[in-house]
Structure 1
Amino acid sequence: MMNSKSTPVFSFFRQSTCVSTWLIILFLGMANGLSAQSLDLSRAQIYTPIKDKKVLRRSVEVLREEVQKRTGTLLPLATKVPTDGRPLMYLTLQKEVPNLPAKYRQLLGQVPTLAAEGFSLVADPASNAVLLVAADARGVLYGVGQLLRKLELRPGQVLLPQPLRVTTSPKYPIRGHQLGYRPKTNSYDAFTVAQFDQYIRDLALFGANSIEILPPRTDDDFSSRHMKLPAIKMIAEQSRICDEYGLDVWMWYPNMNPTYEHPDSIQKELKERHEVFKAVPRLDHVFVPGGDPGDLEPDVLFGWLHQMAEVLHQYHPQAKIWVSPQVFRPNQAWFDAFFKHINAGYPWLGGVVFGPWVKMPVTEIRKVLKPGIPIRMYPDITHSLSSQFPVPHWDLAYAMTLGRECVNPRPYDEKMIHNALDEYASGSISYSEGTNDDLNKFVWSDQDWDPNRDVMETLRDYGRLFIGPDVAEAVAQGMVAQERNLRGPLLPNEGVLRTLTQWQAIEKQAAQQVPTNFRLQMGLLRAYYDAYVYRRLIYETELEQQAREYLRQAGTLGTQVAMEKARTTFEKATKYPVAPDYRQKCLELGELLYQSIGAQLTIEPHGAMSGRGNFLDNIDLPLNDVLWVMDQLSEVAKLPSEAERLRGIHALLHRTDPGPGGFYDNFGAPESWYRVVSDRSYEDDPGSLLSPRVSFGVGLIGEEWVHEVRATGFDGKATPRAWMHQVNTLYDTPLKIRYDGLDPTASYKIRVAHTGRFRSKIKLTTDDGSLIHDFIQTGRQPFYEFKVPQAANADGQIIFQWTCGEGERGAQVAELWLIRE
């Protein structure tokens, strides 16, 4: 096994050799004798000698229909090789190459032996022909996809602007995406059968060979107001569609029952499996998560899987069961038992799935598996909050407003994440909750096909095929700009407005598509939304500074006057809003997305589930500390004397003051990150299993949704924004924070705000072995304060280290005061 080689986030190529490579891509000019002129295929005919319908499937139909949608031209089918000189698209199998007419054999040249699903595609203006030679049925479909990706399709025009010579086979055999038909998703539950057909087709054009569906019963409701068919009927349609394209069908099937040991419970579960497995015409694999949801001990889990396999094979005899070591509170005994079963050689076992909330890095899983047992990746490409692969140093303003399932193009991040982990697995099927991650799906499929694939080529193909050739480059660059704007502090990021200008130019050029093209709508929405949040952040940050200035003058103005002026200043954000036209545009685009693809971006009127894809509901969330400040001022106003009110205002203004010789840090903010100790880069550990990350949420007792940063805080009062983001490590990975330049003769005390998603039992020590405190339960209160042993800073520096007990979710620190006594 080769060592993992990480790729810098915005690097274009992976620095390792790909077994299945693009041998020749886009020969330009006179390379290999090809003419530099474009190839006009507007009057082309399509010919194929393939007669076996199981091989041809829908590939020719796809080519003709996708061209017709964009050009209005239905390319005719030829019943024999035409000789009338019209352009020709010739589709055949590699085994038929010896039977090709001589001129096409010469055009094709020497083609290496294609691996499964591979193809060779040659387009030559001099020969007035496009020749597709495929290894098998899927190779025909993927070759058609490659051709469609490179064509410039306009009304009445089918143009290939450059000669093309591509020979390629996929590196990984598993390449797909989860399309769950359930209410929790932000759009799939509103799909019609036709929309699923088109979406599955689109994914196949970029190399996907697998679609994962969900049974009717999951950790969700059975139905939603958006559903066009009952779930049991829709998953049958999804399975049928995949089979018609020749794609594998997977099913994610969680264990929802509280027990799988009582005979009555087991019989009920088996009856449900009979109904579900019988309903779908094709099913190749079933993925059962070890947890999230589900919470079974390995002996019970594998005993149940054996019974489930017997039912599965009654309807799908060759289907395999895959299982993941996902468990929220893992311990070593659980993992030991799990992998003992995995390595036992069960005939129904397909392999192991590595996904969110798997504690063990995939490198370690590979080591404990017997050779030959495959791993399938299950990457979370859909979430931003509470995600497997977070955006590094995401600004709180974005986290609050974009939420958990925003439109989230992250092309270079996805390539980097993929290439950091790919060599340990046999491919991936992504975890997706809707169309918000649309671009990421296509990037991930291309990387599963070839990890050396240039992301910009994928983006240009995406823009060219799905939005239009005249804006392909602008769309590609616009999506890269949107990803770049997500990283780091938002307040100084002037690039956000430049990105909006880019997308406004695309909007003007592709104006006819805006009402119907959901991919264009998503790009525009993010551009306007980001600009609106950016403008509001600048405005509301300045308003808060003005309000605080009035409070600083309370001794001169009087507390009542100062508080009223502060209140009036804060209210300007709503009375005199900034950029209202951007806000209105976002709402209009949200409605268009609901109409075009069923995207549910609001609870009302679009029927979204709270905390999922409803980020438009967050569009007006305050981006300063107005809620906390006004809460505090309400308490100050109740004080009976002017002197007491002055002291209350002083405490508000100096909340973060550590005193003379002290230190204060907000660890969700980049200015404090330099104190966080880590020996791994984001590129080395994108899932943060062994390194710290910035996370979001308040997470004190009494809050229902601990991952929503807008939650009301402790005791029903608003929280400071500083509590809404923190540094976090997962499970028992230590969290280390360093302080240098301390007075070695002084005594210090530490005050910590442990807010965030997790309520864990944690212990605090220092690098010299001093114990600050033994295990305590966090989440019951915001602040914890302890004396630091003087010996800990005798050398002028301290590394504080928080560790969790076995089975805990992780350590997190939002704020830290190191106070000199």
Structure 2
Amino acid sequence: MLSNPTQADGMDLAKAQIYSPVKDPKIRLRTLEVLQQEVEKRSQIRLSIAQKQPAAGQPTIFLSTENQLTSLPAPIRTALDALPAIEKEGFKLLVLENEKKVFIIGKDARGLLYGVGQLLRKAEMRPGQFLISQKATVSTSPRYPIRGHQLGYRPKTNAYDAFSVAQFDQYIRDLALFGANSFEIVPPRTDDDATSPHMKLPAIKMIREQSRICQEYGLDVWMWYPNMGSDYVHPDSVRKELNERKEVFAALPKLDAVFVPGGDPGDLEPDVMFRWLEKEAALLQQYHPNAKIWVSPQVFRPTQAWFNAFFKHVNSGYPWFGGVVFGPWVKLPVQEIRKLVNPSIPIRHYPDITHNYSSQYPVPHWDLTWSMTAGRETINPRPHDEKLIHNSLDEFGNGSISYSEGTNDDVNKFVWSSQDWNPETPVVETLRDYARLFIGPDFTEPFVRAVMSLEENWRGSLLTNQAIPQTLMQWQALEKQVPLKVQQNPRFQMGLIRAYFDAYTQRRLLYETELEQQARDRLTQAEKTGSLPAIQQAKTILEKAWKQPIRPDLRAKCFALADSLFKSIGAQLTIEKHGAMSGRGNFIDNIDIPLNDMPWLFDQFARVEKLTDEKARLSKISEMLHRTDPGPGGFYDHFGAPESWHRVVPGEPWEKDPGSLLGPRIGFGVGLVGVEWVDEIKATGFKGQITPRVWMKQAKTLYDQPLKIAYTELDPAASYRMRIAYTGRFRSRMKLMTDDGSVIHDFIQTGEEPIYEFEVPRAVTADGKVTFIWTCGEGERGSQVTEIWLIRK
């Protein structure tokens, strides 16, 4: 599986010198330093910097911009001219093995840095060896001008709050080597705690350092700055908010743009918001004269009047206005926004690449067990999904700065940057660059395959996914082969812990699913054995899950890797030991969560055992076992299950509408306790009861997009009663009609009760078909349906 270093292709630059005729420090910036340091880290070779152009036979890495090539021999200039022309931030990389020369020609300062990044990504560096092939020759320019990521130093992130200045410097550098040119920081006050026990510096000092680092690399600095105040009209409140921003803006050596979300958090009516933004812009430009303010139509409960006012302001031509941001909780598809704003106004994507559900781009049809264990913010390499999402929407914007909450989405960041540079780049090419640079050239192909396998682990049913044990074997083989330095590499460990966690979770699911079935089988014998003995026997079977656990070795490995990741990069994978915030990457806390309906069954057992009459106990057990039974000739569907999804009327294909703004998606959450936000999915909360596991997953649509569910094989001669389970994250007011206009129920407030029953008019099903249509009132967050029983009367 491993390549032989002695057989590697290309010329060896171990004795090369770096020469650059560029003397302007604003162009050279830290580029030469980056080249020297990154080569030395991997090869232990310290390339020297020549003060004059080396002689013809001396291996040389030549760095220059296009306007300083006169000193080059005519044949070299001819070879460079033969390459395609480059544009802003582009570069040419010319490798001439016979000449023992490498030429990196940038269009500008950034082009020079990105050219060095290309050399480092394509080279093979080992101790004492620095190889580059002539095949690496390329001329390329970025497709989109905005290419970056949010690096928020705040407690809510799963690792950034533990970063040191040096770690931020290296992370920004790593991303820049793949073409990133923008980094978004956050102010000290957001919808978060002010401090974290992990922080190395106070927030105001760290964001100053983040800004300085970007300035030194010649990169753009953005700031996500939500409106957290309670009043933006009263002069005293406005003055307080401006004073806070004055401190922040004055602290930053560089700030190019401020992104103010329309909501989540900080909901303001557009007229109030834009009057406030004008004041904020005037202050901003006192300290950063060229900075602009960007705004998103991001609001949880939008109305048409809100949008009308928002886009009127957007198109008003304010001199301080930079553009529109399309991100999470923007109701309108970006294609529609592009039509609503003036053509001269740019749109920036703000893609959520960090979350797995309750997010802008959730994992499609994710298995319920993953939502319970891996959770919303686990380590989530999704290279193929990210490329598809990017390429489905990229043409409607000027690039992107991703929404990230930490290191869990590390692979996704590099994929997204490479797609912003060139959407035609194959994912495997980016992953090979990532592996070659960060893991090592001798493990490139097996590492790439192992990373892609992690994405395959999340496809389809967890119970039957045969990729998961194979993925673990791939990672274990790598673990045995790589040297200790790679074993301790956080980027290697992030993939490794996922492989072990996935395999352990699947084995537990198989085991606990069988235990539940055995327990249910024992309960079916209750009339023969007696209700209480049957319940005790069922409990004993279910308790094996923790009294006789399966594969404790896999579990122990996950905890060991979690400890190591905390020590190296501050990854907080548990609350108690690593100081994570709940629901923010602490997926190891969920490693023992029951994967069957044991909590609900034990809750039901306790209720049965309180009954004093044996007949009543047996009746309750039968009701429990037949909870989903629709009776003879009836229909039962759980719309979180793949086998029922065929009844859900589709919208646009996921490949065209990955944010499901125009069609249904899978949702997660019980939502029966009056709390909208779901940090961790637990089947609890309805009037003190434990709820069935299936109530945690449902079909849903966003905002007022109709949710349609069709039945086509009903008995035309029968009448039906409809029972519905309404659970989910949102507490929405929903109305149910049918495709012929009949009203099954008018608007009701969901979230108070889980189960509702309604008569279905006989005329609705007279042709054996019916489509049920759910809609929300204006300003609601979406419709959601978990279970349907159609009971034949």
Q: TM-score, normalised by structure 1?
A: 0.95
Does residue 523 of structure 2 align to residue 551 of structure 1? yes
Alpha-carbon shift at residue 37 of structure 1 (Å): 5.1
Alpha-carbon shift at residue 111 of structure 1 (Å): 3.0
Q: 2:725 aligns with which of 733, 753, 773?
A: 753
Of 76-85 and 575-584, deviating more is 76-85
Q: 1:108 aligns with which of 77, 80, 93?
A: 80
Of 470-479 and 296-305, deviating more is 470-479
Aligned-partner Cα distance in 1 for 2:507–2:330: 39
Alpha-carbon shift at residue 72 of structure 1 (Å): 1.1
What are the residue-to-residue correspondences of 1:799-818 with 2, within 5 Å?
A: 799-818=771-790
What residue number does 1:497 align with? 469
What residue number does 1:391 align with? 363
Does residue 307 of structure 2 align to residue 335 of structure 1? yes
Q: 1:693 to 1:523 in 2, by over 3 A?
A: same
Q: Give secondary structure in 1 for the equivalent of 2:722.
A: strand
Indicate conservation of the 8 Å contact 1:125/1:163, yes or no: no
Aligned-partner Cα distance in 2 for 1:806–1:481: 42
Indicate conservation of the 8 Å contact 1:380/1:431, yes or no: yes
Alpha-carbon shift at residue 559 of structure 1 (Å): 1.4
The number of equivalent residue pairs is 786
What residue number does 1:19 align with? none
Indicate conservation of the 8 Å contact 1:703/1:711, yes or no: no
What residue number does 2:556 align with? 584
Q: 1:273 to 1:128 in 2, by over 3 A?
A: same
Q: 2:386 aligns with which of 414, 418, 424?
A: 414
What residue number does 1:27 align with? none
What are the residue-to-residue correspondences of 1:208-227 with 2, within 5 Å?
A: 208-227=180-199
What are the residue-to-residue correspondences of 1:636-785 with 2, within 5 Å?
A: 636-703=608-675, 705-785=677-757
Alpha-carbon shift at residue 702 of structure 1 (Å): 4.8
How big is each residue's C-alpha offset from its partner over 1:119-167, in whole Å with a ceiling of 9 and x where there is no partner? 0101122221111111000000000001100111111111125532111
How big is each residue's C-alpha offset from its partner over 1:500-556, in whole Å with a ceiling of 9 and x where there is no partner? 111111212224125631101100010000000011010000011111110011112
How big is each residue's C-alpha offset from its partner over 1:662-699, in whole Å with a ceiling of 9 and x where there is no partner? 00011111111000001311101100111100111000
Alpha-carbon shift at residue 248 of structure 1 (Å): 0.3
Q: 1:263 aligns with which of 235, 242, 245?
A: 235
Q: Give secondary structure in 1 for the equivalent of 2:690.
A: coil
Alpha-carbon shift at residue 576 of structure 1 (Å): 1.0
Q: Which amino acid aligns with 2:277?
A: L
Indicate conservation of the 8 Å contact 1:285/1:322, yes or no: yes
Indicate conservation of the 8 Å contact 2:224/2:260, yes or no: yes
Alpha-carbon shift at residue 259 of structure 1 (Å): 1.1
Aligned-partner Cα distance in 2 for 1:101–1:622: 71
How big is each residue's C-alpha offset from its partner over 1:414-442, in whole Å with a ceiling of 9 and x where there is no partner? 00000011000000000000000000000
Indicate conservation of the 8 Å contact 1:37/1:125, yes or no: no
What residue number does 2:449 align with? 477
Aligned-partner Cα distance in 1 for 2:379–2:406: 10
Q: 1:426 aligns with which of 398, 405, 422?
A: 398
Does residue 376 of structure 2 align to residue 404 of structure 1? yes
4+ long deviations beyond 4 Å: 702-705
Aligned-partner Cα distance in 2 for 1:168–1:295: 42
Q: Give secondary structure in 1 for the equivalent of 2:616.
A: helix
Of 698-707 and 200-209, deviating more is 698-707
Indicate conservation of the 8 Å contact 1:706/1:756, yes or no: no
Alpha-carbon shift at residue 818 of structure 1 (Å): 0.8
Aligned-partner Cα distance in 2 for 1:710–1:612: 15
Q: 1:408 to 1:456 in 2, by over 3 A?
A: same
Does residue 559 of structure 2 align to residue 593 of structure 1? no
Indicate conservation of the 8 Å contact 1:124/1:164, yes or no: no
Indicate conservation of the 8 Å contact 2:63/2:112, yes or no: yes
Of 508-517 and 190-199, deviating more is 508-517
What are the residue-to-residue correspondences of 1:69-148 with 2, within 5 Å?
A: 69-83=41-55, 85-148=57-120
Alpha-carbon shift at residue 614 of structure 1 (Å): 0.8
Q: Give secondary structure in 1 for the equivalent of 2:687.
A: helix
Tell me, which stretches of 5 or more residues in structure 2 are unaligned?
Answer: 1-7
What are the residue-to-residue correspondences of 1:551-630 with 2, within 5 Å?
A: 551-630=523-602
Indicate conservation of the 8 Å contact 2:12/2:130, yes or no: yes
Alpha-carbon shift at residue 103 of structure 1 (Å): 4.3
Of 150-159 and 404-413, deviating more is 150-159
Alpha-carbon shift at residue 79 of structure 1 (Å): 1.5
Q: 1:37 to 1:432 in 2, by over 3 A?
A: closer
Q: Which amino acid aligns with 1:408?
A: N
How big is each residue's C-alpha offset from its partner over 1:585-609, in whole Å with a ceiling of 9 and x where there is no partner? 0001101110010001110111100
How big is each residue's C-alpha offset from its partner over 1:9-31, in whole Å with a ceiling of 9 and x where there is no partner? xxxxxxxxxxxxxxxxxxxxxxx
Q: Which amino acid aligns with 2:633?
A: G
Aligned-partner Cα distance in 2 for 1:767–1:666: 21
What residue number does 1:169 align with? 141
Aligned-partner Cα distance in 1 for 2:379–2:423: 24
Identity %: 65
Q: 2:510 aligns with which of 538, 541, 545?
A: 538
What residue number does 2:492 align with? 520
Does residue 434 of structure 2 align to residue 462 of structure 1? yes
How big is each residue's C-alpha offset from its partner over 1:251-305, in whole Å with a ceiling of 9 and x where there is no partner? 0000001110011100000101110000000000000000000111000000000
What are the residue-to-residue correspondences of 1:153-168 with 2, within 5 Å?
A: 153-161=125-133, 163-168=135-140
Alpha-carbon shift at residue 701 of structure 1 (Å): 2.1
Alpha-carbon shift at residue 109 of structure 1 (Å): 4.7
Q: 1:550 to 1:711 in 2, by over 3 A?
A: closer
What residue number does 1:199 align with? 171
What residue number does 1:311 align with? 283
Q: Give secondary structure in 2 for the equivalent of 1:163.
A: helix
Indicate conservation of the 8 Å contact 1:122/1:132, yes or no: yes
Indicate conservation of the 8 Å contact 1:760/1:810, yes or no: yes
What are the residue-to-residue correspondences of 1:283-362 with 2, within 5 Å?
A: 283-362=255-334
RMSD of the alignment, in Å? 1.2
Q: 2:158 aligns with which of 164, 180, 186?
A: 186
Tell me, which stretches of 5 or more residues in structure 1 are unaligned?
Answer: 1-35
Alpha-carbon shift at residue 51 of structure 1 (Å): 0.6
Of 168-177 and 84-93, deviating more is 84-93
What residue number does 1:31 align with? none
Aligned-partner Cα distance in 2 for 1:476–1:56: 33
How big is each residue's C-alpha offset from its partner over 1:307-337, in whole Å with a ceiling of 9 and x where there is no partner? 0011001100000000000010000000000
Q: TM-score, normalised by structure 2?
A: 0.98
Q: Give secondary structure in 2 for the equivalent of 1:810.
A: coil
Aligned-partner Cα distance in 1 for 2:609–2:117: 67
Indicate conservation of the 8 Å contact 2:388/2:655, yes or no: yes
Q: 1:703 to 1:367 in 2, by over 3 A?
A: closer
Q: 2:124 aligns with which of 143, 152, 164?
A: 152
Q: Give secondary structure in 2 for the equivalent of 1:578.
A: coil
Q: 1:704 to 1:378 in 2, by over 3 A?
A: closer
What residue number does 2:758 align with? 786
Of 512-521 and 486-495, deviating more is 512-521
Q: Which amino acid aligns with 1:379?
A: P
Q: Which amino acid aligns with 2:44?
A: G
Alpha-carbon shift at residue 107 of structure 1 (Å): 4.1
Aligned-partner Cα distance in 2 for 1:706–1:792: 37
What residue number does 2:12 align with? 40
Aligned-partner Cα distance in 2 for 1:626–1:693: 27
Alpha-carbon shift at residue 95 of structure 1 (Å): 1.7
What residue number does 2:5 align with? none
